[in-house]
A and B are shown apart, each in its own frame.
Chain A
Amino acid sequence: MFRTPFARATCAALLALAAVTASAQDNAKVLRMVPQTDLKILDPIWTTAFVTRDHGYMVYDTLFGVDVTGKPQPQMVDKYSASADAKVWNFTLRKGLVFHDGKPVTAADVVASINRWGKRDSLGQRMLAVMDKLEAVGDNAFRMTFKQPFGLVLEALSKPSGSPAFIMPKRVADTPADKQIDDYTGSGPYVFQKDQFRPGEKVVYLKHKGYVPRTDTPSGTAGGKHVYVDRVEWIILKDAQTQSNAITSGEVDMLSWMPPEHYSTLRTNPKLETVNPTFAGSYYLHLNHHIPPFDNPKIAKAAVLAVNQEALLRGQMVFRDLYRTCASIYPCGSPLATDKTGWFTGKPNFEEAKRLLKEAGYDGTPIVLMHPADFTLLNKLPPMMAQLLQQAGFKVDMQSMDWPTLLMRRAKKDPADKGGWNAFMTGWGGSDTLNPMFFAPLTGNGEKGWFGWNKDDKLEELKGEFAATTDPAARKKLAAQIQERALETGLFAPLGETNNLSVIRRGVVSGVLLAPVNVFWNIKKN
Chain B
Amino acid sequence: MPFFLIRRIAATLPVLVIVALIVFLMLRLAPGDPAAAILGDNASSEAMKNVRTQLGLEQSIPVQFFQWSARLLSGDLGESYFLKQSVTGLIAQRIEPTLSLAALTLVVTVLIAVPLGVLAAWRHGGWLDRALMGFSVLGFSIPAFVIGYVLIWAVSLKLGWLPVQGYARLEQGLLPWLRHLILPAVTLSIIYVALIARVTRAAVAEALTEDYVRTARAKGISEARVLVRHALVNAAVPIVTVIGIGIALLIGGVVVTETVFAIPGLGQLTVDAVLSRDYPLIQAITLFFSFLYVLINLLVDLSYLLLDPRIRY
A residues in contact (CB < 8 Å) with B:
14-15, 17-18, 20-21, 38, 40-42, 46-50, 52, 120, 122, 162-163, 178-180, 182, 198-201, 235-239, 241-242, 245-246, 248-249, 251, 374, 401-405, 407-411, 426, 428, 432, 440, 448, 450-451
- The verdict on A451 contacting B275 (CB below 8 Å), with A238-B262, A242-B260 known, is no
Bound form: Cα–Cα A15–B176 in Å: 10
Contact B149 A48, beta carbon cutoff 8 Å: no
Question: Given B43, B51, B262, which contacts A237 in the complex, CB threshold below 8 Å?
Answer: B262
Bound form: Cα–Cα A237–B94 in Å: 15
Contact A450 B44, beta carbon cutoff 8 Å: yes
> Can you name 12 A-B pairs with beta carbons within 8 Å?
A42-B84, A46-B39, A48-B41, A180-B84, A200-B268, A236-B262, A245-B152, A374-B275, A404-B37, A409-B31, A410-B36, A450-B44
Contact with A along B113-154 (1 / 0, CB 8 A): 000000000000000000000000000000000000100100
Bound form: Cα–Cα A41–B278 in Å: 12
Chain B positions 239-290 with a Cβ under 8 Å from a chain A Cβ:
259-262, 264, 268-269, 272, 275-277
Contact B90 A199, beta carbon cutoff 8 Å: yes
Contact B260 A239, beta carbon cutoff 8 Å: yes
Contact A401 B31, beta carbon cutoff 8 Å: yes
Q: Which residue of B lies closest to A401 (CB)?
A: B31
Q: Which residue of B lies closest to A411 (CB)?
A: B45
Bound form: Cα–Cα A199–B174 in Å: 23
B residues in contact (CB < 8 Å) with A:
31-33, 36-48, 50-51, 54, 82-85, 90, 93-94, 149, 152, 156-157, 160, 163-167, 172-176, 259-262, 264, 268-269, 272, 275-277
Contact A241 B33, beta carbon cutoff 8 Å: no
Contact B164 A246, beta carbon cutoff 8 Å: yes
Residues of A within 8 A of B43 (CB): 47-48
Question: Given B31, B38, B42, which contacts A162 in the complex, CB threshold below 8 Å?
Answer: B42
Question: Given B82, B93, B260, which contacts A198 in the complex, CB threshold below 8 Å?
Answer: B93
Contact B163 A249, beta carbon cutoff 8 Å: yes
Question: Given B42, B45, B83, B261, which contacts A432 in the complex, CB threshold below 8 Å?
Answer: B42
Bound form: Cα–Cα A46–B157 in Å: 41
Q: Told that A40-B276, A246-B164, A404-B37 touch, could you supply 6 new A-B pairs with CB distance under 8 A? A: A14-B173, A40-B83, A42-B84, A241-B149, A404-B275, A404-B277
Residues of B within 8 A of A49 (CB): 40
Residues of A within 8 A of B268 (CB): 200, 238
Q: Which residue of A lies closest to B263 (CB)?
A: A201
Contact B264 A21, beta carbon cutoff 8 Å: no
Contact B164 A249, beta carbon cutoff 8 Å: yes
Residues of A within 8 A of B272 (CB): 38, 200
- CB proximity of B129 to chain A, nearest CB, Å: 34
Residues of B within 8 A of A241 (CB): 149, 260
Contact B164 A242, beta carbon cutoff 8 Å: yes
Contact A404 B173, beta carbon cutoff 8 Å: no
Contact A48 B84, beta carbon cutoff 8 Å: no
- CB proximity of A17 to chain B, nearest CB, Å: 4
Residues of B within 8 A of A432 (CB): 42
Contact B33 A408, beta carbon cutoff 8 Å: yes
Contact B31 A440, beta carbon cutoff 8 Å: no
Instruction: List the 5 shortest-distance A-B pairs measured between CB atoms, nearest first.
Output: A407-B36, A408-B33, A48-B40, A201-B264, A17-B173
Q: Which residue of A lies closest to B163 (CB)?
A: A251
Bound form: Cα–Cα A29–B44 in Å: 42
Question: Given A18, A401, A404, which contacts B33 in the complex, CB threshold below 8 Å?
Answer: A404
Question: Given B40, B50, B262, which contacts A246 in the complex, CB threshold below 8 Å?
Answer: B262
Q: Which residue of B lies closest to A252 (CB)?
A: B165
Q: Which residue of A lies closest to B90 (CB)?
A: A199
- CB proximity of B261 to chain A, nearest CB, Å: 7
Contact B259 A249, beta carbon cutoff 8 Å: no
Residues of B within 8 A of A426 (CB): 41
Question: Given A17, A237, A245, which contacts B157 in the complex, CB threshold below 8 Å?
Answer: A245
Bound form: Cα–Cα A245–B94 in Å: 23
Q: Which residue of A lies closest to B32 (CB)?
A: A404
- CB proximity of B176 to chain A, nearest CB, Å: 6
Question: Given A180, A237, A405, A410, which contacts B165 in the complex, CB threshold below 8 Å?
Answer: A237
- The verdict on A199 contacting B40 (CB below 8 Å), with A237-B262, A249-B156 known, is no
Contact A238 B39, beta carbon cutoff 8 Å: no
Residues of A within 8 A of B47 (CB): 120
Contact A402 B149, beta carbon cutoff 8 Å: no
- The verdict on A248 contacting B157 (CB below 8 Å), with A41-B82, A162-B42, A242-B259 known, is yes
Bound form: Cα–Cα A239–B256 in Å: 10
Contact A405 B32, beta carbon cutoff 8 Å: yes
Residues of A within 8 A of B160 (CB): 249
Q: Which residue of B lies closest to A14 (CB)?
A: B175
Contact A249 B44, beta carbon cutoff 8 Å: no
Contact A122 B275, beta carbon cutoff 8 Å: no
Q: Which residue of A lies closest to B261 (CB)?
A: A242
Bound form: Cα–Cα A200–B174 in Å: 23
Residues of B within 8 A of A20 (CB): 173
- CB proximity of A90 to chain B, nearest CB, Å: 30
